[in-house]
Amino acid sequence: MRTLNWMVPASLLLSLAAVAQQPADSQPASQPAPTQMSAPANTPDAAQPTAPVPMQTSAPANAQPAPPPPAAQPTTMDQVVDRFVLREKGLIKMLQMRTPVIETYLQNLQLDPALGPVPKDDKYFLGRMDLSTSIDRKDYIPDDQSMEKHLLGGFSKLFKIQYQPLGFSWMIFADRNDFDRQHYDFRYVRREFLGEVRCLVFDVTPKPKSGQGRFLGRIWVEDQDYNIVRLNGTYAPRPRNAYFFHMDSWRLNLIPGYWVPAFIYSEEGDFSAGAKNQLAFKAQTRIWGYDLRKEGESDELTNIRVDSVKDDSPTAQDASPLAAEREWQQQAEDNVVERLTRAGLLAPDGDIDKILQTVVNNIQVTNNIDLPRPVRTRVLLTSPLETFSVGNTIIISRGLIDVLPDESSLAMALTHELAHIVLGHNLGSKYAFNDRMLFSDESTYQNLGFKHIPEEEAAADKKAVDLLKNSPYAQKLDSAGLFLKMLNTRAGALNALLTAHLGNNMTEGAAVTRMSTLMGSAPQIDWNKLDQIAALPMGGRVKLNPWDDKVELVKSQPVAITSARDKMPFEVTPFFPRLTRTGTTDSTGTAGSAANATPTPTSAANTNSPSN
């Protein structure tokens, strides 16, 4: 059964996961694909059967907000302004009950003569945002610096540059309290399409003496219900001792009638000749988990898991000691997966897991590994590069999948964890006790951990290399090694990206330790070789639906790389999601297309899956 399974998908995956190095392979490989992944982008409907449909899947316990009642179409621009001001208030009200997860990943930049601005160091913030009365956030990672929460949208310049996590979340709304004609002037500019959505564009300026920190910039308003779908600008005037940085904030139509904040890109810096700007950074802020249950809200029945061990054998008996041990592990595994999902850190089981499991299966089949229970995979929704396993579930972060250049490097990442499982390095059985699942979402990182001792890490690396050499990826390990080499060159500047929060780090100090022997046989990094893609920019591969947390692989259009500066390995790039409308009440054909709205890095490095 298994042996039949692996041959087809092994080649199928290349077309999905690989970058431009293999353009020729992907055409035939996409033919037998039973899954959504090979569906080319030229027929938008092809993705429909398997694309997540966020609208129908929300839990009944946490019902979706009702769409706003229909209103008469405005006939003048003044009426349009009144309408989007009203719609903005409606959005703020709807989101009051939500506590989405918010993540900001920031790279400080320095100028490299050959490569342009490159990361110098980085910072990472992850928290839950409470949108009830003002915008506030609780962070998963304790901040080493005091947080001046009320310094809006900026960072203090008093002693050193100190980023305010809250600042990056500020532009989810233009102005939470006073977005109206009394405080702002709105000037209509033109009509413009963003993706499939026709928008009216307005310049927004604060009225004189309307106070500090008012929105200054441009908004895009969709022309059906007049919701704001994009905000681009900054805040003004700025108070002393603080900056407001520039932001580009995007919303997605994930539920009928509302466009919810999903991505915010921030950038500062001037590298032109003569510029004396010490400040230069790029940051991506992502928001998801809108449908997560608010802490303590009708949670009593779900906190304690009682149904994870099912006995469906006809001659039920007490478990043998070994069987009991396995059931115990299974129970711990189920508890952890469920808890991480509820904390907004793990995507629900989805199509992307079929891809990941196929890769794992390829390794297992060719190495004759027969485990008592099948290996499962899940995607951690965060950016830092990490993998870990609990019981038989391998977990890999979205950020890591994003930057891996091809399937063999994905195999490398997963096989390390498979090796832990094969070697019996089971961690986390203590989580079979349900009391250990009772903690606040924000304290997840303090309560769960799956770090192995160095001896187990070394043993897993060694085993993993053996497994890979005996697998369909044996001839393609060069690219995995090249990926690690690139990681090695950038490791010193990417400490935050490389700090694992649940598993082991892939690096130590500023050097790659994970699977490091693969670097030995890899080719040299050649920046000027335009078809050598060692690693991709952040955010180019996995699309995340911020409403229901489902993930899938991106089908992005190939963009030609024209210079070394286009490669941007591990780098932050702007968001440019293709906006689409979710299914409206009278339309059945376009439902669920929210998943199509995905940030596409402007980078040319993301030249995967040629689709025509």
Tokens of 287: 């928001």
Residues 111-130 that bind Zn ion (CB under 5 A): none
For residues 11 and 33, what is the distance between their CA atoms, to the nearest angstrom? 9
For residue 41, give the 3-state DSSP assignment.
coil
Q: Of the two residues 504 and 608, which places its CB atom closer to Zn ion in the complex?
A: 504
Q: What tokens appear for 314 in the block?
A: 């006809």
How near is the Cβ of 420 to Zn ion at its closest, in Å? 5
Stretch that binds Zn ion, among 82-90, 406-414, 454-462, 565-573 (CB under 5 A): 454-462
Piece of the chain touching Zn ion by CB under 5 A; list 24-32, 90-98, 395-403, 453-461: 453-461
Cα 14 versus chain centre, distance: 21
Cβ distance to Zn ion smaller for residue 393 or 504? 504
Cβ 557 to Zn ion shortest distance, Å:
36
In the complex with Zn ion, which residue's Cβ is closer, 354 or 452? 452
At residue 139, φ and ψ (nearest 5 deg) are: -95, 145
Contact between residue 26 and residue 1 where contact means Cβ atoms under 8 Å apart: no
Q: Which of residues 305-324 bind Zn ion (CB under 5 A)?
A: none
CB of 387 to Zn ion, least distance (A): 7
Site string for Zn ion, 479-508 (x = CB under 5 A): -------------------------x----
Nearer to Zn ion by Cβ, of 305 and 452: the residue is: 452
CB 396 to Zn ion: min, Å:
12
CA distances (Å), 392 to each of 37, 230, 307, 421, 426, in order?
25, 42, 18, 7, 9
CB nearer Zn ion, residue 331 or residue 504: 504
Size of the site for Zn ion (CB under 5 A): 4
The one segment of 159-167, 263-271, 349-357, 451-459 that binds Zn ion by CB under 5 A:
451-459
- Residues in 501-540 at the binding interface with Zn ion, rule: CB under 5 A: 504
Name the residue type at position 41: A
We find the least distance from the C-beta atom of residue 342 to Zn ion, in angstroms, to be 25
Instruction: Compute the least distance from the CB of residue 450 to Zn ion, in Å.
Output: 9
With CB under 5 A as the contact rule, which of the stretches 36-44, 151-159, 447-455, 516-524 interacts with Zn ion?
447-455
Residue 371 C-beta: closest distance to Zn ion, Å: 17
Name every residue whose Cβ is closer than 8 Å to that of residue 270 and which is 6 or more positions away in sequence.
277, 280
CB of 386 to Zn ion, least distance (A): 10
164 CB-contact burial (10 Å; exposed 0-12 / middle 13-18 / buried 19+): buried
Q: Quote the least distance from Cβ 413 to Zn ion, whole Å.
A: 10
Residue 33 has a CB neighbour count (10 Å cut-off) of: 17
Q: How many CB atoms lie within 10 A of CB 583?
A: 20
CA angle 394, 395, 398 (to 5 degrees): 145
Nearer to Zn ion, 80 or 390 (CB): 390
Pick 460 or 554: Cβ nearer Zn ion: 460
Count of Cβ atoms closer than 10 Å to residue 102 Cβ: 28
Query: CA 221 to CA 211: how far, in whole Å?
Result: 25
Q: Classify the C-alpha dihedral 553-554-559-562 as positive or negative.
A: negative
Selected range binding Zn ion among 139-147, 449-457, 559-567, 592-600, rule: CB under 5 A: 449-457
| Residue among 409 and 504 whose Cβ is closer to Zn ion | 504
Which of these ranges, 240-248, 277-285, 452-460, 543-551, lies near Zn ion under the rule CB under 5 A? 452-460
- The distance of closest approach from Cβ of residue 349 to Zn ion in the complex, given in angstroms and rounded to an integer, is 23
Burial of 480 (0-12, 13-18, 19+ CB in 10 A): buried
Residues 380-399 as x/- pattern, contact with Zn ion by CB under 5 A: --------------------
114's CB contacts (< 8 A; 6+ apart) are 527, 564
Q: Which range, of 142-150, 275-283, 444-452, 565-573, touches Zn ion by CB under 5 A? A: 444-452
Which positions ≥6 away from 276 have C-beta within 8 Å? none
Between 441 and 457, CB nearer to Zn ion: 457
Q: How far is the CB of 455 from Zn ion (least distance, A)?
A: 11
| 404: nearest Cα among 234, 536, 579 | 536
Give me the least distance between CB of 142 and Zn ion, in Å please.
24
- The 3-state DSSP class for residue 248 equals strand
Q: Which is nearer to Zn ion, 479 or 504 (CB)?
A: 504
Which residue, 333 or 549, has its beta carbon nearer to Zn ion? 333
Q: 463 or 543, CB closer to Zn ion? A: 463
- In the complex, least distance from residue 339 CB atom to Zn ion, rounded to whole angstroms: 21
Query: Residue 540: is it exposed, middle or buried by C-beta count within 10 angstroms (0-12/13-18/19+)?
Result: buried
Residue (466 or 531) nearer to Zn ion, CB: 466
Stretch touching Zn ion by CB under 5 A, among 3-11, 298-306, 378-386, 445-453? 445-453
CA 257 remoteness from chain centre: 24
Q: How far is CA 412 from CA 14, 427, 480, 551, in A?
A: 14, 21, 7, 21
- The site for Zn ion (CB under 5 A) is made up of 452, 457, 460, 504
